[in-house]
Amino acid sequence: MSDAKGMAKGSSTSTPFQQALEGIEKLDAEDQQTLIEIIRLRLVEQRRAEIARNARATLRAFREGRAAYGTVDDLRRELLGEP
């Protein structure tokens, strides 16, 4: 039988992920909920940072003339070579 990460139960090889899960299982329910909230907030912050990096890259590309803006119709015309 395998667990959620594909390790066979009773296997002597323990991945860092498995070790983390085992540590979490030792926490009481309230601490597990707190951990879930901390992880959720960290994921939100990581996503915000990714969005900010993408925005900076897009602005840089626009300033360098490697990007343009317009409507979907503008894009369609450009792709089809229409005036």
Tell me the domain boundaries of the chain: 27-80
Q: What is the pLDDT of residues 8-34, one digit of tens each?
A: 455 568 999 999 999 999 999 999 999
**How far apart, in whole angstroms, are the C-alpha atoms of residue 13 and residue 2?**
13
**How far apart, in whole angstroms, are the C-alpha atoms of residue 59 and residue 51?**
12
The pLDDT > 90 percentage for the chain reads: 75
Round the average pLDDT of the chain to a whole number and report it.
Answer: 89
Question: Model-level pTM?
Answer: 0.63
Tell me if 7 sits within 8 A of 15, measured CB to CB: yes
Q: What is the pLDDT of residues 32-45, one digit of tens each?
A: 999 999 999 999 99
| DSSP assignment of 4-71 | TTSPBTT-S---HHHHHHHHHHTS-HHHHHHHHHHHHHHHHHHHHHHHHHHHHHHHHHHHTTS-----
